[in-house]
Amino acid sequence: MQEPPPRGHNQGPPLDETGPPWGEDDPYAYVCWKAAHRKAWRGVSRDVMLFRLDKAERLGLSYEEYTLEILERGRHLQATDVQRIAAIRKARRLR
């Protein structure tokens, strides 16, 4: 029997590129994660997409960076979130 994942683990697919894409876990979890990923990025209306694009451009971020922040943290960035925006820009340079 497999050990349960450590506390705080979201049971998503592995980040390394070795082995099958679902790692050593259940392939069903991988399929669920792939479906959730598609739904998160494609499930917005045109108006929401344009709103996010406009907001991202005003903050100096890309649409993907801004949307990822919403998906990860559950909140829209504001102009007053200077430290978080700077961290996102710094991470962009490191990639």
Is the Cβ–Cβ distance between 91 and 65 less than 8 Å? no
pLDDT of residue 13: 60
Residue 79 belongs to a domain: yes
Residue 34 belongs to a domain: no
For residue 10, what are the contacts with CB-CB under 8 A and spacing of at least 6?
none
pLDDT of residue 38: 85
pLDDT of residue 83: 94
pLDDT in tens, 45-85: 999 999 999 999 999 999 999 999 998 888 899 999 999 99
Neighbours of 1 (CB within 10 A): 3
Residue 68 belongs to a domain: yes
Residue 4 belongs to a domain: no
Domain span holding position 66: 46-94
Residue 27 belongs to a domain: no
Is the Cβ–Cβ distance between 85 and 60 less than 8 Å? yes
pLDDT of residue 93: 78
| Number of domains forming the structure of the chain | 1
pLDDT in tens, 20-52: 666 666 788 778 888 888 888 887 899 999 999
Q: Is the pLDDT of residue 94 over 90?
A: no
